[in-house]
Chains A and B, each alone.
Chain A
Amino acid sequence: MEPNFGGVVTVTHSGQRRTPKAAKTSSVFKKAVMAVSGIILVLYLVAHMIGNLKIFSGRESFNGYSEWIRTIGEPAVPAQTTLWIIRVVLLAAVAAHIWAAVSLWRQAKRARPVQYVARKQVAQSYASRTMRWGGVILALFVIYHILDLTAGVANPEGTASTPYDRVIAGFSNPFITAVYIVALLALGFHLRHGIWSATQTLGQSNKKRERTVNAFATVFAVVLTAGFLIPPLSILSGLVG
């Protein structure tokens, strides 16, 4: 086979150093996009999880919190300005995350069109194996979740209700709660591998840190998932509402 030098970029001797175009579409660059957008989403999840726990301080407090999110910055900026800034950043992060994932998924599929007749994994974890389909499940869940609790169109209480009523109505139903539990477990696994993978991708891991990074990823995933699971399980069992 002829050596392929067609795509090799040389920037060593150029006075003006510029990033070669190829570098911006490289698989490692895409991974970095995935890691950074993932970190933005994880930071939001932490705030979301803590906010959810307000359900324990009652209807007034929970609805007040929801109202506060919509009025941050008033009267300096119009109502919902901060909320929409957060939404736009999240949407951009989700779009970037999905773009990188789809692109790398397709590259991986092209890289091995013929599968092994016999294949046994030596090291891979359940979390790492389910990143892609787990991500698809999470994307579908997020759409349902927004229709359910933010917009209210998929909620038993409908659109005219308060946030607190929607939450209580939804999680009093075992089927709806089951959907949330499945999605949250998928989230836990996604974070378990995602946090480790992002650390590697951003070049922050090494032999010494590997154990700590993996332990942190597990603890973080468990704590976040548990934090999200507490309100729905409390409502289902009648402790709240």
Chain B
Amino acid sequence: MDLKLRVWRQRDATEKGKMVTYEVTDISPDMSFLEMLDVLNEQLILDGQEPVAFDHDCREGICGSCGVMINGRAHGNGLHDSHPQTATCQLHMRSFKDGETIDIEPWRATAFPIIKDLAVDRSALDRIIQSGGYISAPTGTAPEAHSILVAKKDSDAAFDAATCIGCGACVAACPNASSMLFTSAKVVHLGLMPQGQPERNDRVINMIHQQDLEGFGGCTNIGECSASCPKGISMENISRLNHDLLGALRAGARPKS
């Protein structure tokens, strides 16, 4: 395949960036999107130019490092119906047509400052986790697995929420640049578990507070996030987070003995 790429090039956070057009030839349809970018970078290096910076690690769709806007869609999700929602590394070139022009941009949000080209700083998500995405548990030998029982329904829903890989596609796709789907997945994952109960009220209040501090937008329940999520995290989690937050506000409003 021969492709025309329009890639966002930006030296660092302070400099202005722009779209630059490149051409790549002889791309195999079986290559992943990142392998195609590797081909472009090899070509740029041979030409004595600066390669395109982009984040990647496992290339198996589980680490959440990679992620770019492809033709205006996060990870290229929604390019066509037959393609399952994936991370960029699991998107293959057979999803594109020979001769196609592909626009490649970084996630755009105040909370995700651009480091270089397509690489953005997503540590804002880490700080949301630090503010409440944990449980306090005694250390030592692992307890007997059946000592704390969890209803199947809750364990399934918690597991679904826990599949969030924190890639930031929800923020990138959201018209408000809100990280609600991410935060809700973490709140729900721990909130459905018995081990997550002691900090449940504080967790939701602190994580939402941190989310607002980081400069993310508010949720307007549009659904772009869930439709762009490589793990298909459901909008249901956002409703559960809201329920938890309102419950926490009620619980916090009067003393509990």
Measuring CB to CB, which residues of chain A are less than 8 angstroms from any residue of chain B? 1, 3-12, 15-20, 22-24, 26-32, 104, 107-108, 110-125, 128-129, 131, 193, 196-197, 199-207, 210
**Inter-chain contact A128/B253, CB cutoff 8 Å:** no
Encode contact with A along B6-36: 1 for CB under 8 Å, 0 otherwise.
1010000000000100000000000000000
**Inter-chain contact B226/A124, CB cutoff 8 Å:** no
Which chain A residues lie closer than 8 Å to B71 at the CB level? 118, 120
A199 to chain B, nearest CB (A): 8
A23-B249, A32-B242, A123-B227 in contact; A107/B217 too (CB < 8 A)?
yes
Closest to A100 in B: B218
Let me know if B256 is at the binding interface, CB within 8 A.
Answer: yes
Which chain B residues lie closer than 8 Å to A210 at the CB level? 235-236
A21 to chain B, nearest CB (A): 10
Encode contact with A along B230-255: 1 for CB under 8 Å, 0 otherwise.
00001110111111111111011111
**Inter-chain contact A123/B219, CB cutoff 8 Å:** no
Which chain B residues lie closer than 8 Å to A201 at the CB level? 221, 242
The CB with the most chain B CB atoms within 10 A, among A6, A15, A207, is that of: A207
**Inter-chain contact A108/B217, CB cutoff 8 Å:** yes
Query: Given A111-B176, A123-B78, A199-B239, 20 other A-B contacts at CB below 8 A?
Result: A3-B123, A4-B127, A8-B209, A22-B212, A23-B208, A23-B249, A27-B178, A28-B245, A31-B218, A32-B242, A116-B105, A116-B108, A122-B227, A123-B222, A124-B175, A131-B220, A200-B221, A203-B243, A205-B236, A206-B236
SS of A interface (majority): loop
Closest to B183 in A: A28
**Inter-chain contact A20/B213, CB cutoff 8 Å:** no
**Inter-chain contact B208/A27, CB cutoff 8 Å:** yes
The CB with the most chain B CB atoms within 10 A, among A9, A27, A32, A201, is that of: A27
Let me know if B103 is at the binding interface, CB within 8 A.
Answer: yes
A199-B246 Cα distance, complex, nearest whole Å: 13
A3-B130, A20-B252, A196-B221 in contact; A9/B205 too (CB < 8 A)?
yes
A14 to chain B, nearest CB (A): 9
A110-B110, A119-B72, A120-B73 in contact; A200/B215 too (CB < 8 A)?
no
**Inter-chain contact A18/B253, CB cutoff 8 Å:** yes
**Inter-chain contact B252/A11, CB cutoff 8 Å:** yes
B252 to chain A, nearest CB (A): 4
A225-B148 Cα distance, complex, nearest whole Å: 52
**Inter-chain contact A206/B209, CB cutoff 8 Å:** no
**Inter-chain contact B252/A118, CB cutoff 8 Å:** no
Closest to A19 in B: B252
Encode contact with A along B194-213: 1 for CB under 8 Å, 0 otherwise.
00001101100110111111
A17-B255, A32-B242 in contact; A107/B218 too (CB < 8 A)?
yes
**Inter-chain contact A203/B218, CB cutoff 8 Å:** no
**Inter-chain contact A206/B219, CB cutoff 8 Å:** no
**Inter-chain contact A124/B224, CB cutoff 8 Å:** yes
B256 to chain A, nearest CB (A): 5
Contact of B220 among A123, A128, A206 (CB under 8 A): A128
Which chain A residues lie closer than 8 Å to B253 at the CB level? 18-19
Let me know if B158 is at the binding interface, CB within 8 A.
Answer: no
Let me know if B69 is at the binding interface, CB within 8 A.
Answer: yes
Which chain A residues lie closer than 8 Å to B251 at the CB level? 17
Closest to A26 in B: B208
Contact of B209 among A23, A131, A199 (CB under 8 A): A23
A159 to chain B, nearest CB (A): 40
Closest to A7 in B: B213
Closest to A122 in B: B78
**Inter-chain contact B208/A8, CB cutoff 8 Å:** no
Which chain A residues lie closer than 8 Å to B214 at the CB level? 4
7 contacts between A and B (CB under 8 A): A3-B126, A10-B206, A27-B178, A107-B212, A118-B105, A122-B228, A200-B235
Contact of A115 among B19, B108, B131 (CB under 8 A): B108
**Inter-chain contact A1/B123, CB cutoff 8 Å:** yes
Let me know if B182 is at the binding interface, CB within 8 A.
Answer: no
**Inter-chain contact B239/A128, CB cutoff 8 Å:** no
A26 to chain B, nearest CB (A): 5
Let me know if B77 is at the binding interface, CB within 8 A.
Answer: yes
B89 to chain A, nearest CB (A): 19
The CB with the most chain B CB atoms within 10 A, among A113, A117, A199, is that of: A117
